[in-house]
Amino acid sequence: ENTRADWLAATTTVTSGVGDRSAASELVDNAVKPFVDNSIRADWLSAMQAAVASATAAYERALSEMAAERLPAFEVPGTLGPAWTPLAPVCDDENSPVPAAEAPAQVPAAAAAPAVAAPAVPAATAPSAWSGPAPAPASGP
């Protein structure tokens, strides 16, 4: 316990500059630094190595679990999604010859289309007459 109090006093002297700096520096160099270098560094290094190993193992476990799974399937439900409609067969009637017996009878142009009257053009509307503002009342002299 006395060692801890001496070390705290020495570090306070070194950091603040108040007190016997040479004795405090000597104590820090000969006692505090070797303790930190040997004990703390070894503990910290082993803790960091354990943390890295744990993170690496977790990452590898996650990768192996993902690799073991089937590929995800994103299916569209039939009632909610689009329905597949097969393509209509291509009609090539224009290029295939039509036998005379199946040829449609020619219909006269006048009978083919019923006469439709052209739509009546609506009458143009004109704005109602507009009168300017009322003249200002005459002011007397």
The pLDDT mean for the chain works out to 77
- 112 pLDDT more than 60: no
Find all residues with CB under 8 Å of 13, minimum gap 6, and list them.
Answer: 19, 20, 21, 23, 24
- pLDDT for the residue numbered 122: 62
Cβ 64 vs Cβ 44: under 8 Å: no
The four Cα atoms 61, 67, 69, 71 give a dihedral, to 10 degrees, of 140
pTM, entire model = 0.33
The pLDDT, as a whole number, for residue 52 is: 98
Local confidence band at 53 (pLDDT 50, 70, 90 cut-offs):
very high
Question: Under a CB-based contact definition with an 8 Å cutoff, are residues 54 and 46 in contact?
Answer: no
Does residue 20 sit in helix, strand or coil? coil
State the pLDDT at residue 80: 67
User: Residue 82's pLDDT is what?
Assistant: 66
Res 39: pLDDT:
80
Residue 88: the pLDDT is 76
Confidence of residue 106 (pLDDT cuts 50, 70, 90): low
Alpha-carbon gap, residue 77 to 72, rounded angstroms:
15
User: Is residue 141's pLDDT more than 60?
Assistant: no
The residue among 11 and 115 whose pLDDT is bigger is: 11
Report the distance separating Cα 86 and Cα 57, nearest Å. 51
Quick check: 60 and 68 in contact, CB under 8 A? no
- What's the confidence (pLDDT) of residue 125? 67
